[in-house]
């Protein structure tokens, strides 16, 4: 699935539900390089949501958790 389409869908849900927030969690491997890439990845997603989709930054939380999910993936949760 196209990543921008998925983010647009999440942004639409956020706009339609002003009380909702989104959590972006990346799951890097244990290496410093993978962790650095994870931080860049979740930051890029947050920037896209705030600058392109107009979502307020205080509604977006980000984190990177080694071993929390499949390596080198990102999970979006609107809640």
Convert the pLDDT of each residue in 24-69 to its tens digit: 999 999 999 999 999 999 999 999 999 999 999 999 999 999 999 9
| Beta strands 73-78; 22-27: pairing state | antiparallel
**CB 53 within 8 Å of CB 7:** yes
6: helix, coil or strand? helix
3-state helix, strand, coil split of the chain in percent (to 5) is 50, 20, 30
At residue 4, does pLDDT exceed 70? yes
At residue 13, does pLDDT exceed 90? yes
CA distances from 49 to 29, 32, 33, 62, 63 (A): 25, 26, 25, 12, 15
């Amino acid at each position: 699935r196209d990543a921008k389409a998925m983010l647009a869908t999440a942004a639409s849900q956020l706009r339609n539900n002003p009380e909702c927030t989104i959590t972006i969690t990346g799951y890097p491997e244990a290496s410093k390089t993978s962790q650095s890439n994870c931080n860049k990845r979740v930051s890029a997603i947050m920037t896209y949501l705030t600058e392109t989709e107009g979502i307020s930054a205080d509604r977006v939380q980000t984190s990177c958790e080694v071993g929390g999910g499949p390596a080198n993936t990102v999970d979006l949760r609107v809640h």
